[in-house]
Homo-oligomer: A and B are copies of this chain.
Amino acid sequence: MHAIGVDIGGTKIAAGVVDDEGRILASTRRDTAPDDVASIDQAIAEVYQELSADHEVGAMGLAAAGFVSPDRTSVLFAPNIAWREYPLAQRVRELLPDGGGDVQIVVENDANAAGWAEFRFGVGRDATDMLMLTVGTGLGGAIISERELVRGKWGAAAEVGHMRVVPEGHYCGCGHEGCWEQYASGTALVRDGQSAVISQPGRAARLLELCGGDEHKLTGPQITQAAQEGDGLAVELLATLGRWIGEGAASVTALLDPELIVIGGGVGAAGDLLLQPVRKAFADQLSARGHRPEAQIELAEHGNEAGMVGAADLARR
């Protein structure tokens, strides 16, 4: 059965028709306003109609950044969109011709959806127990246990970025300190790069050059570029990011014993400059090493379309 997946971002939605093997047969997008939730409903209805005109679809999955109700119909809370206990599936359905007929409409957390895509159609296709880590602005995740997505009692599971890794560590936007995503994210990479420009001026020449002399304009891709050129400081910055990813992954592994840990997000562009420190740190911190099989750590195969694909696939199950 074909299904539509919709990835709802802060200012736009991207949607596609996804077949049983995770291929995107057609796609489209709309701009939206994060403060106007009705505009999002409307946009979803539009993309549904556009895509279903040419494809027969039996389900639609809506990937949203936020806590999703256990029955997968509502968004309980979202950090960046004004949803508060919002019955998203129902609101969209009301805008569809014939109420959408018997098309199944479900809401999924976007990180869960992306992890599911990787599990079903990506590097995790042969796995049964998998941890997905999406290293972007923050650190998102998904947990697959015995081929099932772990959503938790109230749909709030896999908020891996808020596992505390340093007591009284970096401030987090969530109001706590030391959250993993403050150490293992693209934001942390850039922040550490900016700090290094100040504390180690003698080593930061290339980074300064790339950001035009203003460290406030430094970006993650610039750090990756410098590292790929061999810049010592940039290599260190990626290694520090990798260390935090790997050390945290070892803690999660103590809890969940996955066979596969998948690293997604833009930092994957750094390749082995990131992956090798991740693997070393994971091995250094893995409990009972030598007495247990060890999880593989791999880069994700899907890119930005993972949320769309995963939401579509989850909707039709």
Contact = CB atoms under 8 A, between A and B. Distances in A.
Interface of A: 67, 76-77, 128-129, 141, 143, 145-146, 148, 150-171, 173-177, 179, 183, 191, 195-202, 247, 250-252, 254-259, 283-285, 287-293, 295
Contact of A199 (B145, B166, B174, B200): B174
A119 to B, nearest CB: 13
Number of copies: 4
Contact of A151 (B153, B159, B257, B292): B257
Contacts of A155: 257
A252 B150 CA distance: 13
B198 A175 contact: yes
Contact of A76 (B141, B148, B256, B292): B292
Given A143-B255, A163-B251, A255-B163, A287 B179 contact: yes
B195 A176 contact: yes
Contacts of A160: 254-255
18 contacts: A67-B291, A76-B292, A146-B150, A152-B257, A156-B292, A157-B255, A157-B257, A162-B251, A163-B254, A166-B168, A166-B169, A167-B247, A168-B183, A169-B169, A171-B171, A176-B285, A176-B287, A252-B255
